[in-house]
Amino acid sequence: MNSFEELVWSTGASWQMSVFLPFVILLFLGLITTYFLFRKVGTKIQKRALIGIIGLLPAALYFAFFPIYHSDLKNDYRKLNLNQYSIPTQSSLEVMTLPNCPYCIESIAAIARLKKRNPKLKIQFKILSSNKHGGHVASLLKKSQINYSFVNNTKNMKKITGGSFPSFAFYKKGQSSIMTWDNNTFGSCALDYIESN
């Protein structure tokens, strides 16, 4: 999340809105600026160039540096039913990570924001490590004051992660199925879904 998205998110906007709104604002400002300058430019070629450069370029550059991913457009989760799973009385999120996985480390910032805005949501990181070595992930979780534990790679854990890290498992209150996302499918739509449930 960049500072522009962070600003929108801090106003209470949804996760998805915080991704889209900066792009829309830049596009709108570029087109408004083009509209006011349009009358001062003489030829059609200059007018078309003005639309392209001033009207669309700021939004296009923003999109190039901060793209909108598939996970920001669609909540693409998998539902799992595990045999030993009981129906939860409270919604919770588990994040399965490896000790020094760079994508796992990157996910901590988003989960810390989620926890800040939803302090009642139970969040638990599970670090797959047989020797209880947490690496960089454990040190960042301590700093962010997010609960974590060490687990072995069990059969159920393999079903949840599918070998992809980080993986996210949401246990919705009153439902027996688990919603899971991998690193590529966990985005603003998933965060909005978790916040709303």
pLDDT in tens, 50-88: 777 887 888 889 999 999 988 999 999 999 887 666 778
pLDDT of residue 131: 85
Q: Are strands 92-97 and 167-171 parallel, antiparallel or unpaired?
A: antiparallel
Domain end residue (candidates: 68, 92, 113) = 68
* Region of poorest pLDDT, from 80-84, 87-91, 100-104: 80-84
State the pairing for strand pair 178-181/122-128. Answer: unpaired
- Domain of residue 119, CATH code: 3.40.30.10
| DSSP output for 78-92 | EEE--TTPPPPSS-E
Q: What pLDDT does residue 32 have?
A: 86
- How confident is the model at residue 84, as a pLDDT? 62
Domain total in the chain:
2
| Residue 45 confidence (pLDDT) above 80 | no
Peptide bond into 58 cis (omega under 30): no
What confidence tens digit (pLDDT) does each residue in 139-185 have? 999 999 999 999 988 888 888 898 899 999 999 988 888 999 999 99
- Predicted pLDDT at 124: 96
CB 8 within 8 A of CB 22: yes
Domain range spanning residue 23?
Answer: 3-68
Q: Going by C-beta distance under 8 Å and a sequence separation of 6 or more, which residues neighbour residue 123?
A: 92, 93, 94, 95, 111, 114, 115, 146, 147
